[in-house]
Chain A
């Protein structure tokens, strides 16, 4: 076991898989000799050579096409999009092509592609770097969307993503890259995709969340505990497909729930979670399921992040409404 930040755990996952499977290729803008703009691919080109870890021209769409074509030739591409705000350039390759590859060929071909990409607010990035666009991905049949919130989850989920024979979007929250360390096992281990994790057990209220909002929710739960409430925090870890069993089991136990996301209210996946709970556990609910989300504006100019981004105080406020409904 070693103490790792999330970014170190991500690098470790790629290194582990590249050693195990020579068909794994890592490529993107500045991922080679530079080791990535966040050092996520640091040392990989040195260890595995330019044939397996390489830079590409600056064109996201081309990178997506490259991944699809390499997949058709038996490779296992791990492509990086430098920031997820740039997904619009490559939306066709992702949602229009690789997501549909297995289906459109009737199972003859597949796209075993992992797309790694940083996103998320709180670090004062310039425009189109931090946007929460996971909702777009979650709406595309054929994709799986994974968003880890801890170093341990990041490594196990990334190894699973790379081994998955269908395309996986692996979104890495920039604020979580180096915000804390955690014990992460050496060598390989996997966490199943589509499996949520109860990060904190409780009996009065379920907070269902993902990404950077997991830490905010845990902080809120600790505050609420001081007021005598027992709050459960469910970290979705995969937002498509949702782990319905874990969500419903928690709600049936607590009878009250809120869904917390960093994305705007009209975006993200909170509305899906609410709908699933309404359809499956309405008889357990003591109160409506409320959402914590950002305002329905464009992602804020960097100086406005602190007033715009949802935080633990918003979680406490909404949780209190539901607890006192």
Chain B
């Protein structure tokens, strides 16, 4: 008997393919520092490009020194950033001072370049409340440890800006693992429903500690998760500073023009461990994969690009490196000189008006501290 092939009612295969087709990776600079997409080239002056390179080099040094200081016990909690300079710094470079950043725990560089003094970033790492006392006029909040919480809060900050009639945006960052959280989805969905000026960045470095992105979701891209919120989703080469800058600038433009939020996925890589708290990436990453991504180093390709333009040289780079090292030394010294925390300090910052129980405990600790 001839088998009777039944035609499927729904062409689900094509459906999934068609969706992924709409989230092609935006790249402007390839690994050799060649412009592969002239039409998308952002309008940046030579000085701006030099400044962006300067920040990326500085941040690579900051990462190397932070790892070393952590190993010496002179820093505490630290989540390495090497490899993510384009994703972190070119996105921050597209912002205005009035924009508000809600960083995750790995996003310390963005808030430093937005105005947080370096010694306070070190105090954050060590666990001192003064590290989180953001200076007035610097529109950031300290790094969020609860993965996803920054997303729903960003929707609120953005709605607040819209209600206040400001031409500014809230930007927030999470990782590939973070895109599995409920708050990730709720955050982008709320911002979409309220048409709020928010930029949601997912830095996809392929691993959430040891769990590869393939184990987070069957979705082919993270950018396409924007579809669930009915908002634009963009996937960019996160090792390409110009592509990241371009995507964030455009998202900012749409947001301040009242067109709502954007989700941006940056394809990136962390060269170091997840954090300095004993994570060993050789357990879950192959050296082949590490090598492959080292070829994509954002510093290498941007350096090549700028050198070809004749606006970057070794001398300039050395100067940045020396500057970074000096600043870091100075900042660590300043962190060392910060007075130790007392329990009464911690009580002071709990409420505007201390309730009865704390007042009582305050007297007990003040007595102890006076001895």
Contact A70 B187 (CB under 8 A): no
Our pick among B186, B189, B190, B350 for the contact of A102 (Cβ within 8 Å) is B350
Q: What would 20 A/B residue contacts be, using CB atoms closer than 8 Å?
A: A62-B189, A65-B186, A65-B187, A66-B156, A68-B152, A68-B156, A69-B152, A69-B159, A70-B156, A70-B160, A72-B156, A73-B157, A73-B164, A102-B352, A103-B350, A105-B141, A107-B133, A141-B350, A242-B357, A245-B356
Our pick among A51, A97, A144, A242 for the contact of B153 (Cβ within 8 Å) is A97
Q: Which of B323-367 contact A (CB under 8 A)?
A: 346, 348-352, 355-358
Contacts of B142 in A (CB 8 A): 104-105
- On chain B, the number of residues with a Cβ less than 8 Å from chain A's Cβ atoms is 41
Contact A241 B356 (CB under 8 A): yes
In the docked arrangement, what's the CA distance between A166 and B154, Å? 20
Q: Which stretch of A53-61, A171-179, A210-218 is in the interface? A: A53-61
A261: Cβ under 8 A from any B Cβ: no
- Smallest CB-CB separation from A238: which chain B residue? B355
Contacts of A97 in B (CB 8 A): 146, 149, 153
- Smallest CB-CB separation from B189: which chain A residue? A57
User: From residue A87, how far is it (CB to closest CB) to chain B in Å?
Assistant: 15
In order of increasing CB-CB distance, the 9 nearest A-B pairs are A69-B156, A65-B152, A73-B160, A62-B186, A106-B133, A241-B355, A69-B157, A66-B156, A106-B129
Contact A62 B141 (CB under 8 A): no
> Which interface residue of B153, B155, B358 has the most chain A CB atoms within 10 A?
B153
User: From residue A294, how far is it (CB to closest CB) to chain B in Å?
Assistant: 26
Given A65-B187, A66-B159, A104-B129: 12 more A-B contacts, CB < 8 Å: A62-B189, A65-B153, A65-B183, A68-B153, A74-B160, A97-B153, A103-B346, A105-B141, A109-B134, A141-B350, A142-B351, A244-B357
A96: Cβ under 8 A from any B Cβ: yes
A67: Cβ under 8 A from any B Cβ: yes
- Bitwise, B194-218 to A at CB < 8 A (1) or not (0) is 0000000000000000000000000
B-side interface mostly: helix
Contacts of A165 in B (CB 8 A): 352
Contacts of A71 in B (CB 8 A): 156
Our pick among B130, B159, B161 for the contact of A106 (Cβ within 8 Å) is B130
B100: Cβ under 8 A from any A Cβ: yes
Residues of A within 8 A of B (CB): 25, 51, 56-57, 59, 61-62, 64-75, 92-93, 96-97, 102-110, 141-142, 144, 164-166, 194, 241-245
Our pick among A56, A67, A242 for the contact of B356 (Cβ within 8 Å) is A242
Contacts of A65 in B (CB 8 A): 149, 151-156, 183, 186-187, 190
B117: Cβ under 8 A from any A Cβ: no
In the docked arrangement, what's the CA distance between A107 and B141, Å? 12
In the docked arrangement, what's the CA distance between A242 and B357, Å? 8
Contact B160 A243 (CB under 8 A): no
B163: Cβ under 8 A from any A Cβ: yes
Our pick among A56, A104, A241 for the contact of B357 (Cβ within 8 Å) is A241
User: From residue A242, how far is it (CB to closest CB) to chain B in Å?
Assistant: 7
In the docked arrangement, what's the CA distance between A74 and B149, Å? 19
Our pick among B130, B146, B170, B356 for the contact of A69 (Cβ within 8 Å) is B170
Q: A51-B163, A65-B186 are in contact. Are A109 and B141 (CB under 8 A)?
A: yes
Contacts of B349 in A (CB 8 A): 102-103, 106-107
Contacts of B100 in A (CB 8 A): 72
Contact A69 B155 (CB under 8 A): yes
In the docked arrangement, what's the CA distance between A103 and B358, Å? 14
Contact B160 A72 (CB under 8 A): yes
Contact A74 B164 (CB under 8 A): yes
Contacts of B277 in A (CB 8 A): none
> Which interface residue of B152, B154, B348 has the most chain A CB atoms within 10 A?
B152
